[in-house]
C-alpha cells in the first residue's frame, strides 16, 4: 500500500509495523478540512494493507493533535462559503478506527485535544508523554462533544468522571489520565514513540490472527454504542456550530479573553 497520496500524513515501516504521523506540525496537527477528509479514509486503507499487521499513530512536532482548526471555525462562523466538514467523514473517522481489525497503538507525543483526543482514545493501547495533556474541550468553544467523546470517555473512566470532563472540557495530565484508566502508559517525552513502537512489534511478533480477532471481539460493544450515539451527538454538534455561543467562544479565544455565553 502506498500512502504518498496523503498530504496530511507521513508513513514509515519497520517490518510489519506501520507508523502513521499526522504531519502538520506548524498548526499543531489541527484538523482542517484536508486532515478531516484524510482521517475518514486512511484507516480503511490500512485495513486493506497486506504489508501491515500493527499500526502506530502519532503526531509530528509538539502536539499529537490540537483538535479542530480554530481558524477554519472562525471563517465559517463569520459566514465563509468554504466547504464545511462533512458529517459522513466525522462518522467514518470513528467507525474506521473501530472497524480496523489490526491493532493500532497511539503514541501521544504532545497535547491531544478534541477530535485529536478522541482519535487517540479510540486506539487500542495508548502511550502518552508525561509532558502532554488530553481533553475534549468542545464545550469551551460552544459546541456539543459530538465526534466520539460521548462514546469512548464513559467506557474508559465511567459515566460520572466522563460527564465531568466532557461538560467542563478540563484537561488531564498524563499521570492523572493513567491513574483513572483513560490511557495505558505514561512515558518520558523522548521515549513515547519508541515505547509505542516496541509494543507494536511485540504484537506483530505474536499470534497476529488471534490478537486481531480478539480486538474485533472486544470492539463489538463499542461499535454498537458508536452506531447508537454518533448520529445524535453529531446532529447536536452541528446545531451548536451555528449558535451565537460558538461564535462568541471562537472570538474570545482569539482575543484572549473569557467568553460571555448567552444561549439558553
pLDDT of residue 84: 64
Query: Burial, 263: exposed, middle or buried (Cβ in 10 Å; 0-12, 13-18, 19+)?
Result: exposed
Report CA dihedral (19, 180, 111, 84) to the nearest 10 degrees: 80
pLDDT digits (tens, 9 = 90+) for 153-204: 999 999 999 999 999 999 999 999 999 999 999 999 999 999 999 999 999 9
Q: Name the residue among 51, 42, 40 with its Cα closest to residue 10.
A: 42
At the fourth CATH level, which superfamily is domain 9-191+204-214? 2-enoyl-CoA Hydratase; Chain A, domain 1 (3.90.226.10)
**DSSP conformation class of 135:** E
User: Longest C-alpha distance within the chain, in Å?
Assistant: 56
What are the extents of the domains in the chain? 9-191+204-214
pLDDT digits (tens, 9 = 90+) for 44-99: 999 999 999 999 999 999 999 999 887 777 777 776 666 667 888 899 999 999 99
Amino acid at each position: 500500500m502506498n500512502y504518498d497520496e496523503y498530504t496530511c500524513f507521513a508513513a514509515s515501516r519497520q517490518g510489519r509495523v506501520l507508523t502513521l504521523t499526522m504531519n502538520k506540525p506548524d498548526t499543531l496537527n489541527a484538523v482542517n478540512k484536508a486532515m478531516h477528509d484524510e482521517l475518514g479514509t486512511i484507516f480503511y486503507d490500512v485495513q486493506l494493507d497486506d504489508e501491515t499487521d500493527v499500526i502506530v499513530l502519532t503526531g509530528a512536532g509538539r502536539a499529537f493533535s490540537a483538535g479542530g482548526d480554530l481558524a477554519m471555525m472562525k471563517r465559517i462562523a463569520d459566514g465563509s462559503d468554504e466547504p464545511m466538514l462533512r458529517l459522513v467523514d466525522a462518522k467514518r473517522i470513528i467507525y474506521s478506527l473501530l472497524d480496523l481489525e489490526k491493532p493500532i497503538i497511539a503514541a501521544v507525543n504532545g497535547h491531544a485535544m478534541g477530535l485529536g483526543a478522541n482519535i487517540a482514545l479510540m486506539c487500542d493501547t495508548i502511550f502518552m508523554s508525561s509532558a502532554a495533556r488530553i481533553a475534549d474541550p468542545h464545550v469551551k468553544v460552544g459546541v456539543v462533544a459530538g465526534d466520539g467523546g460521548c462514546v469512548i470517555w464513559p467506557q474508559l473512566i465511567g459515566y460520572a468522571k466522563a460527564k465531568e470532563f466532557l461538560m467542563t472540557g478540563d484537561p488531564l495530565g498524563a499521570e492523572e489520565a493513567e491513574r483513572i484508566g483513560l490511557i495505558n502508559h505514561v512515558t518520558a517525552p523522548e521515549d513515547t514513540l519508541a515505547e509505542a513502537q516496541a509494543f507494536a512489534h511485540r504484537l506483530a511478533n505474536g499470534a497476529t490472527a488471534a490478537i486481531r480477532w480478539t480486538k474485533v471481539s472486544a470492539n463489538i460493544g463499542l461499535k454498537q454504542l458508536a452506531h447508537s450515539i454518533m448520529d445524535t451527538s453529531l446532529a447536536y454538534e452541528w446545531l451548536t456550530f451555528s449558535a451565537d455561543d460558538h461564535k462568541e467562544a471562537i472570538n474570545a479565544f482569539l482575543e484572549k479573553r473569557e467568553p460571555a455565553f448567552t444561549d439558553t
